[in-house]
Amino acid sequence: MKSKMVLKKWLIAGMSLSLLYGTFLHYQIIRHANEEVPRGGDYMIILGARVKGSRPSLALQFRIDYAAEYLKDNPQTIAIASGGKGPGEDFSEAEAIKKKLVEYGIEESRILLEDKSTNTYENIGFSKKLIPKEAKTGLLVTNDFHIYRAQMIAENEGLMISGLPAKTPIQAVFKSYLREYLALTKYFIITAFR
């Protein structure tokens, strides 16, 4: 009987800590996704997402849409389209981003390709090498749930970069946030032991 009471207390404590931790993560995600987006950025890094055959997934399409709108309003900003070619993709995510931006009327000369990366760490690390030397202010374009972690990864790469959050497709919200909570936990564990 006593061991059951102890187990119950540990279970309640664990659930309470999990709830607090989840609340903290959600607060940070929402806070970072709602920061003011600066105008006149020198460059933006558009993080890749899945391409279905030759069509951008809805999450990637939203990133492209938001990037294109910003690029039209800020003609001095260059875009770094980032993302390699994964299984089931006819071409790289970077090429899919570039193709759609050109369709929106963005000049090809303003779009640089980083087409080797396979994850957010590589997206940012490889894209950093393409940033013009004179560039000072930058933006990171990804879906709103992903801004918080992407900015921390960029900071680890020495980039103090603002977020340009694209909305998350409604049908993917639950899955995206759940995966992001797990990815953030992994990120915190990895950085704690560096």
CATH classification at residue 43:
3.40.50.620
Dihedrals phi, psi of 3, to nearest 5 degrees: -65, -30
Tell me, yes or no, whether 58 lies in a domain.
yes
Tell me, yes or no, whether 19 lies in a domain.
no
In this model, does residue 1 exceed pLDDT 70? no
Q: Are 144 and 33 in contact (CB under 8 A)?
A: yes
Range of the domain at 89: 31-192
Tell me, yes or no, whether 148 lies in a domain.
yes
Please compute, for residue 75, the number of CA atoms within 13 A of its CA located in the half-sphere on the CB side: 2
Tell me, yes or no, whether 147 lies in a domain.
yes
pLDDT digits (tens, 9 = 90+) for 52-111: 988 999 999 999 999 999 999 999 999 999 999 988 889 999 999 999 999 999 999 999
The pTM for the full model equals 0.90
Tell me, yes or no, whether 46 lies in a domain.
yes
In this model, does residue 131 exceed pLDDT 90? yes
Dihedral class, residue 45 (left if φ above 0, else alpha if ψ from -120 to 50, else beta): beta
Whose tokens are 């119950």? That residue is 8
For the chain, the average pLDDT equals 92
